[in-house]
Structure 1
Amino acid sequence: MTKLYNVAVVGATGAVGEQIILQLEQSDLPIATIKFLSSPRSAGSTLSFKGKPVIVEEATPESFTAIDIAIFSAGGSISAELAPEAVKRGAIVIDNTSHYRMAEDVPLVVPEVNEDALRQHHGIIANPNCSTIQMVAALEPIRQQYGLKRVIVSTYQAVSGAGNLAIDELYTQTQAVLNNEPVEATILPSAGDKKHYQIAFNAIPQIDVFGEDDYTYEEHKMINETKKIMGDASLKVAATCVRLPISRGHSESVYFEIDEAGVSAADIKASLKDAPGIVLQDDPATQTYPQALDCVDKRETFVGRVRRDLDEPKGFHMWVVSDNLLKGAAWNSVQIAERLVALNII
């Protein structure tokens, strides 16, 4: 008889939480009961799961009694406070925030890349940053076949990565510009920073706040998380993260250098063609390449524009696109839960 699991979603009413619920509805995870948890402000509202109403409850330590799997997406401070409480009560936590990602005893997992790390969990499993997930998913089949020594990435990220308020601000600002009205900015590039800039019809080369080395926290996340996921502290990684006026779907220009000589762009494409979770869309003759518009509501990571660098024989470029709310967050989290069951870890 198939074992059924009690599942809780923390941050159920947020942008990612909403997608987690949809992915759980469509997943193969055998669910006995579902519990939606949120802040006191959203508690009492009603959501739906598989056509049945579910009342959202306030997240407290006691909420996790008898819960098997708890998926968190409610901010780092909530994860810091409640994830240990969930573990204490027997749940395995899959955390979407950055709070536990670089903790030594917490696996940071993209199932297509390092699902074996799930076996080393101590109750908490971290879901990587959205922009990191799609990049390492695309790089891993190449690394497996040809090695990898350097990565330089520039991202073109959708505003949904900053939450529902950022999406609303994009739409409001766009309408204001079109109506020749004053534009107000209160969210981007980072709600907690000193200045805020218009995102409508703009590109902002800042995501999250700056560190002392003039890299943003988002850039540090990509650099450090890539090394951890791939298990290679010597891998050279650099990132520049940019916010664009796109509601959903992150795009990335990725330059990478491999270890092996004599590899062609066709060889790189061949390694990607049948890789798990990857869709190769690459035909310049017909202007075929991934676009942010086309990735929305799709779980896969899309790769195109694969070409060898003109000066560095071991260097290549590619364009990587994925839905930041699905593979970048909700789907990767649910996928982790599915793999925990499939691998008999839970």
Structure 2
Amino acid sequence: MGFKVAVAGATGNVGREMLSILSERGFPADEVVALASSRSVGKEVSFGDKTLKVKNLETYDFSDTDICLMSAGGSISQKWSPKIGAQGCVVIDNSSAWRYDADVPLIVPEVNPDAVTGFTKRNIIANPNCSTAQLVVALKPLHDAATIKRVVVSTYQSVSGAGKDGMDELFNQTRAVFVADPIETKKFTKRIAFNVIPHIDSFMEDGYTKEEWKVLAETKKMLDPKIKVTCTAVRVPVFVGHSEAVNLEFEKEITADEARDILREAPGCLVVDKHEDGGYVTPVECAGEDVTYISRIREDATVENGLAMWVVSDNLRKGAALNAVQIAELLVERNLVKPRALA
């Protein structure tokens, strides 16, 4: 007897990707249920070679459901995740609603799998921000080897991180440029077609944006509270795939060659680092892939024990849907969740 899994927010970009990944990876589910708001009830979504009809999240009974992958937004999660957890169903939430709650584990399975046991306090597990997820996958093995003191990261984030509306805006603006139509700006603060915008999420009092703060807070929570982190988050005219330029300062000496060898052996990482034209990975190559690609690994002579590198990953997969499914797999592998149908 397998598990019963619900996907909340099943009609969105990440929800659809969750359904696809559950099928691709052969998650041991006897039944998968697609949930969304009342506006989407009756719509059809794909699950492998099957078609699921969307049901209403607000009226769904979770008493016989084992795991809920939640990708319906922060306000929806704040309202419904505690109610779902109270019915005995474990919620794996993709929003920022629970990431900073001390009673909710924030998990990237390649980085801090042992922390997952803390889910029993609320029956909720948080998925990190998309840009943080790929970053910590690359940082963890290097931190274990040489202890990271400071991280300086500049992100180049695709429009899919802003949802379907963001992708539509890039498409429509690009077309408008070519046919000389007026360019409409709705989702982003400035034109995104053939442009970059150094602003993601709302501004905070210190001048950083909430997106930049998330990278700082989540890296400290999952990896090490002593690491110093600063971030500049930039939206770029790419449909899928986040890129990051990362500078690291370590306590111990570590060479670029040593870092390459460490990362080649690390789970979830794939090093593509040739000193030649095209000897690195860009967002086009990472789309649809599960791994975090690491390129341009080199020593930074401006600081003692410094390295620089380029990190690229599919934000809809490792940054969201894949990581959520991997957390569900971790629960199953460690026997932390059992099918309630067997109870």
TM class by smaller structure? over 0.9
2:313 is aligned with 1:297: no
Q: C-alpha distance in 2, partners of 1:318/1:309? A: 10
Gap regions ≥5 residues in structure 2: 338-343
Shift of 1:286: 4.9
Query: What's the CA shift string for 1:279-308, capped at 9, x where partnerless?
Result: 000011354111110000000000010001
Q: TM-score with structure 2 length normalisation? A: 0.96
2:186 is aligned with 1:186: yes
> Is contact 2:16-2:45 (8 Å) kept?
no
User: Which residue in 2 is equivalent to 1:285?
Assistant: 276
User: Which residue in 2 is equivalent to 1:193?
Assistant: none
Moved more, 309-318 or 106-115: 309-318
SS in 2 for 1:284: coil
User: Which residue in 2 is equivalent to 1:121?
Assistant: 119
The match for 1:204 among 176, 179, 197 is 197
Shift of 1:61: 5.5
Moved more, 172-181 or 25-34: 25-34
The match for 2:227 among 235, 240, 244 is 235
Q: Give the letter aligned to residue 19 of structure 1.
A: E
Q: C-alpha distance in 2, partners of 1:61/1:217? A: 33
Q: Give the letter aligned to residue 237 of structure 1.
A: V
User: Which residue in 1 is equivalent to 2:319?
Assistant: 328
Shift of 1:44: 1.1
Moved more, 246-255 or 38-47: 38-47
SS in 2 for 1:137: helix
The match for 1:99 among 97, 100, 109 is 97
Q: Give the letter aligned to residue 193 of structure 2.
A: A
Shift of 1:63: 3.2
Shift of 1:186: 0.5
User: Which residue in 2 is equivalent to 1:191?
Assistant: none
User: Which residue in 2 is equivalent to 1:166?
Assistant: 166
Query: What's the CA shift string for 1:62-121, capped at 9, x where partnerless?
Result: 432211000000100110111111111110000000000000010000000001011111
Moved more, 26-35 or 205-214: 26-35
Q: C-alpha distance in 1, partners of 2:144/2:79? A: 38
Q: C-alpha distance in 2, partners of 1:48/1:323? A: 20
Q: Give the letter aligned to residue 16 of structure 1.
A: V
Q: C-alpha distance in 1, partners of 2:104/2:182? A: 46
User: Which residue in 2 is equivalent to 1:222?
Assistant: 215
User: Which residue in 1 is equivalent to 2:52?
Assistant: 54
SS in 1 for 2:266: coil
Q: Give the letter aligned to residue 32 of structure 1.
A: D
Q: Give the letter aligned to residue 36 of structure 1.
A: A
CA RMSD of aligned residues (A): 1.0
Between the two proteins, what is the percent identity of the paired residues?
45
Shift of 1:54: 1.4
SS in 2 for 1:334: helix
User: Which residue in 2 is equivalent to 1:254?
Assistant: 246
Q: Give the letter aligned to residue 96 of structure 1.
A: N
Q: Give the letter aligned to residue 207 of structure 2.
A: D
2:9 is aligned with 1:17: no
Matches within 5 A, 1:73-84: 73-84=71-82
SS in 2 for 1:149: strand
Q: C-alpha distance in 1, partners of 2:278/2:65? A: 49
Q: C-alpha distance in 2, partners of 1:278/1:63? A: 39
Query: What's the CA shift string for 1:203-243, capped at 9, x where partnerless?
Result: 0000001011111000000000000011x222100000000
> Is contact 2:16-2:46 (8 Å) kept?
no
User: Which residue in 2 is equivalent to 1:67?
Assistant: 65
Q: C-alpha distance in 2, partners of 1:253/1:14? A: 29
Q: Give the letter aligned to residue 107 of structure 1.
A: P
Q: C-alpha distance in 2, partners of 1:146/1:63? A: 49
Query: What's the CA shift string for 1:180-203, capped at 9, x where partnerless?
Result: 111000001xxxxxxx31100110
- Aligned length in residues: 335
Shift of 1:41: 1.1
User: Which residue in 2 is equivalent to 1:135?
Assistant: 135
Matches within 5 A, 1:23-34: 23-34=21-32
2:300 is aligned with 1:309: yes
Q: TM-score with structure 1 length normalisation? A: 0.95
> Is contact 2:200-2:234 (8 Å) kept?
yes
Shift of 1:146: 1.0
Shift of 1:19: 0.4
SS in 1 for 2:327: helix
> Is contact 1:281-1:288 (8 Å) kept?
yes
Shift of 1:51: 2.0
